[in-house]
Structure 1
C-alpha cells in the first residue's frame, strides 16, 4: 500500500516534526531584533561571569587577544607614491613616524592611560563576553595633546531594551541605536546618571545622544538585520558552566572522602542508650580520630564502615575531555590549545588543527583592519594634516590637499611561526625563487614591514663596510645559504669598483 503524499513528505525533515522527542523545541523563527532583545543581557552577564570564574573562559580570552593582536598589534605601512609612480619615501616615513607618536598613551587615549596597542587589546578582550565593542572619535581639547583621541565605551551602557518605532522622517530606534528608515545608523544612545549631561529623555530615563559618525561599532553579524553583537561564548556557555560545576562537585567529593575514612556502626544491643542523649535531643556522636601508623581498638559492638567515593575516577577524564571538545567547537578554538592538552598529538594533526584556527584569526584580523583600524587611521590622518602635525625631515608639513594620496596604506597583522620552521623557510625560499611569491609578500606574511627589513638590510651592509670588512666577505656573509646552491642574487654597488650580491631594490 502506498502511503499518502502528506505522510511521505513528513518523513523528509524529521527535525521539523512535532512529537514527543521534539517537544519544547521552537517552531517559530524569530527576527534578529527579538533574539538580541530577549537574550543579550543574560548572555553578556553570564559570559562576563565565566571570564572571571572559569579557567577555560579565561584561556579563550587570552587566546583571542594573543592571536588576533599579538605583541605588536596592527602595524602601519604607508604606501604613498609620487608623481613618477615610485614610492614617496619621505612622505611615507613622515606619516609612519607621526602615527607612531600619536599611538602613545598620552596622545591616542582621551584618558591618557592606554596606548593604541593597549586599546586594541582592551577591545579584543571584550569580544568573547560582549561580542561587540564601541569606540568614540573625540576631537579638540577633550581629546588630549594631539587634538584627536579615542574613547572606549562599555556596550552595556547602550541600552539594548531601548526601542522606539515612531520617529520623525520615518526613523526608528532599536537596541539603543537610531536608524533612518533604510536602516543607516544616525545616533547612539548611552545611559547617564547625571541628568544635566543628558540631551535626550525617554520613559523617564536620561541618555546622551552621540552622532553615529563619531562611533565605531564592530561586531560579527550572525543574523541578517542583527544590530547588536552577541557574545562569542554564547553557544559554549552552558556546557562550560556545567563542566565547571561537575569538576567542583567531583573535587568536593574527593576532598570530603579523603577527610572522612568512614562511619562507626553499632551492633544490635550496643551503643548509647536513649537517655544518654544531649539536652537538645540529639544523639551523642562518637568520633574516632586517625593518625599515621596507629591502630585503634574498637569498642565491643562497634565496627568501622568505610565510605567509598565514585568521583573522581577513570571515567571523569574521558567525560571532561568529551565536554571540553564541545566547548572548543562552540568557541571556534583548537581543543589542544584551549585545554592545554597535548596528549596523543602528533605533528600532522597539530598542524592541521592550528591551520584551521589560524585561518579564523586571519579572518578576524582583516575584519578589524577594515572596520576599525583603517577608520581610525583615516580620521587621524585627516585631522593631523589639517592641524599640520605631519612634517617631513626639513620641517615642512604635508598638505591636506593630497589627503586621498596619503590614505594609501596597509596594516600588517600578527603572524605565527610554525613548529617546523626550517621546512617553512625552505618552502618560502623556493616560492620566491620560482616567482610564486615576492620577497615583500613573504615578509608581510611573517608580520613585518618589507621596507623596514630592506632598510635594516642596507644598514647592515653599510655597517660592515664602515668597519672595513672586505666586500667579498660581505657578499659571502649576505648570500650564504645551505648546500645545494642557489639562484643568482642581484648585486649592489659598494664604495669600491666591486659589487656586493644580495642587495637589490625589491619593493613590497
Structure 2
C-alpha cells in the first residue's frame, strides 16, 4: 500500500517538472526568430501572409497616385525617372543586329542590312506610333517611365489601315484605364477576370478590359459596367513580377515614397524656419511702466534703423532681446543624407548619382558602386527586351515580309525564309570605361590570351561588331587610296596605315660599324 502511495506521489511531483520543461522548450522555439515574436512592440506588424492579388488590390491605386505626385513634385523622383530612361533605353534605344545565315552557313550581310534598315525606317514616329508623335525610341522611353512610375506599361498592337504606312503601329495605353477593381468568376468556362484582365484556368491572359481606349476621354471612370474588351494577342503588358501569381505591377518607387514625401516636408519646414530666423532680427522688451499701451489698436511697430559702425540709443525702458534660432543645424545634413541612402537602395541606384553628391568619394568606392549599379541596369535592359522589344519585332517582321517592304537591290526578301530572318540579337546601351587606360589594357590582354573575343569587346561598348569591322575596312581602303593619290607606292601606303592603327614599328638592327664603335 505504501509502495503504491510513493509511486503516485513521485509521479505527481514529476508532472510539474515535465510541464515546465515543455514550457521552456516552447519559449525557446518562439525566440528562435525575433521577427516572428508577437508582443506589444509588434502589434501593428502584420502576421498573416497576403496573396499577390490582395496586395495589389489594396495598394496599387494609392501607390500609383502617390508615385505620380512625387514624380511631379520631388526632384529625386524626377531624377530617378531620368536615370531609368538614360540607362535602360539610352540615347539610341535598344538596337537590332540581324544575324540571318545563308545556306552555306555564312552571315547573309545583304539581308541583314535590309532588315536593320527597314526596322530603323519603321521606327520613325510617322510609322510606328498611331498618333504620329513618338518614335520607337520615344515609345521605349515612355514604357520605362510608365513602369517606374506606375509599375507597368501597356501597349496595343494596331494592324491594317489604322497601322499607318507599314500596316502596323503601336498605341501606348494608360494602365490605369484597365480597372484594378474589375473582378469576375466564370465557373462554366473556367475563365476568370482579375484586376481588369481575363485569364484562363491556368492564368494565361485572354483579354484586357479598358474603360476606354479613346484619346478624347480626359478623366478616369470608376465602378462602371461598360468596358472595351481587347484580345490579349493585341496587348503587350509589362511589369516586374515580385510575387508568384502577380497580375498587375506596382511602382518601382513604392518602397521609397514615404521617405520621399517626409524628406520633402522636412526640407520645406527647414527652409521656412531658416527664412523666419533670417527675417526676424530680435524683440523689444519694455520695463514695467514703459512702452506703449497694449490696449491701443493703432500702435505702430517700433523700428530701429542701423548703419555700419553706428551705435543707437534705445527709448527709455526698452531693451533688445536677440532672436537667434539654431535650426537647422548639425543634425539636418546627416539625417538628410541617410534618408537619401535609403531611397537610393530602394531604387537600386548609387547614392552618389541620385543625390549628385561626390563628397568624400575615392576612385575605388565609386568604381565598385558604379559597376554594381550597371549590373542592375543590364538586368532591366534584358527585361525590357523580353517584355516589349521582342514581341513588337515578332509582330512586325512577318507583316513587313508579306507586304514586300524589306528589299535587297529592289527585290523583296522571300517571306518563306521567316525563320532564318527571325534570328537577331539586341544591343542595349553600354557605358564608357571608368578607368579607360587600365580597362583597355585589361581588355587587350584578355583578348590576346583568348579569354574573350574582339566581337564581345565591341558589343560591351554598345556597338555592332559587323558594323565596326565594315567601317574599319572602308577607312583602311580610303586611307590607302589617299596615300596612293599623293604619289606614295602601295606597299608604303599599307605600311603607314598599319602603323597608324597601332602596329609597332619594326626595330632597326644595329650596323656592324656602330657595334665596333660601341665596343
2:70 paired residue number:
50
Which residues in structure 2 correspond to 1:27-106 (within 5 Å)? 27-106=47-126
Aligned equivalents of 1:54, 1:148: Cα separation in 2: 38
Check the 8 A contact 1:465/1:471 in 2, yes or no. no
Aligned equivalents of 2:250, 2:166: Cα separation in 1: 34
Aligned equivalents of 2:448, 2:33: Cα separation in 1: 54
Aligned equivalents of 1:334, 1:407: Cα separation in 2: 37
Aligned equivalents of 1:165, 1:485: Cα separation in 2: 78
Pick closer, same or farther for the CA change 1:290–1:451 going to 2, 3 Å: farther
Aligned equivalents of 1:291, 1:202: Cα separation in 2: 63
Quote how far apart the aligned CAs of 1:118 are. 1.0
Q: Out of 314, 320, 324, which is 1:304 matched to?
A: 320
Q: Out of 360, 368, 378, which is 2:384 matched to?
A: 368
Root-mean-square deviation (CA, aligned residues, Å) is 2.2
Q: 1:162-183 CA deviation, whole Å, 9 max, x = no partner?
A: 1112365111111111100110
Quote how far apart the aligned CAs of 1:192 are. 2.4
Aligned equivalents of 1:193, 1:396: Cα separation in 2: 39
Q: Out of 315, 324, 339, which is 1:323 matched to?
A: 339
Aligned equivalents of 2:371, 2:69: Cα separation in 1: 30
Q: Which structure shows the bigger proportion of residues in helix conformation?
A: 2
Aligned equivalents of 1:337, 1:221: Cα separation in 2: 26
Pick closer, same or farther for the CA change 1:384–1:483 going to 2, 3 Å: closer
TM-score scaled by length of structure 2: 0.87
In the alignment, does 2:167 pair up with 1:147? yes
Aligned length: 476
Aligned equivalents of 1:15, 1:484: Cα separation in 2: 65
Quote how far apart the aligned CAs of 1:485 are. 8.8
Pick closer, same or farther for the CA change 1:69–1:299 going to 2, 3 Å: same
Deviates further, 211-220 or 286-295: 286-295
Quote how far apart the aligned CAs of 1:474 are. 3.6
Check the 8 A contact 2:306/2:312 in 1, yes or no. no
Q: Which runs of 5+ in 2 are unaligned?
A: 1-19, 485-489, 507-519
Q: Provide the secondary structure at the position in 1 that maps to 2:246.
A: coil
Pick closer, same or farther for the CA change 1:158–1:478 going to 2, 3 Å: farther
1:247 paired residue number:
267
Q: Which runs of 5+ in 1 are unaligned?
A: 279-283, 487-508
Aligned equivalents of 1:330, 1:100: Cα separation in 2: 36
Pick closer, same or farther for the CA change 1:28–1:298 going to 2, 3 Å: same
Check the 8 A contact 1:193/1:206 in 2, yes or no. no
Quote how far apart the aligned CAs of 1:56 are. 0.7
Quote how far apart the aligned CAs of 1:266 are. 1.7
Aligned equivalents of 2:315, 2:363: Cα separation in 1: 63
Quote how far apart the aligned CAs of 1:480 are. 4.8
Q: 1:301-320 CA deviation, whole Å, 9 max, x = no partner?
A: 22222222232212211111
Aligned equivalents of 2:342, 2:289: Cα separation in 1: 56
Aligned equivalents of 1:376, 1:359: Cα separation in 2: 25
Which residues in structure 2 correspond to 1:4-403 (within 5 Å)? 4-166=24-186, 168-192=188-212, 204-278=224-298, 284=299, 286-288=301-303, 290-293=305-308, 295-393=311-409, 395-403=410-418
Q: Provide the secondary structure at the position in 2 that maps to 1:270.
A: coil
Pick closer, same or farther for the CA change 1:292–1:363 going to 2, 3 Å: farther
Pick closer, same or farther for the CA change 1:242–1:471 going to 2, 3 Å: farther
Pick closer, same or farther for the CA change 1:245–1:476 going to 2, 3 Å: same
Deviates further, 411-420 or 260-269: 260-269
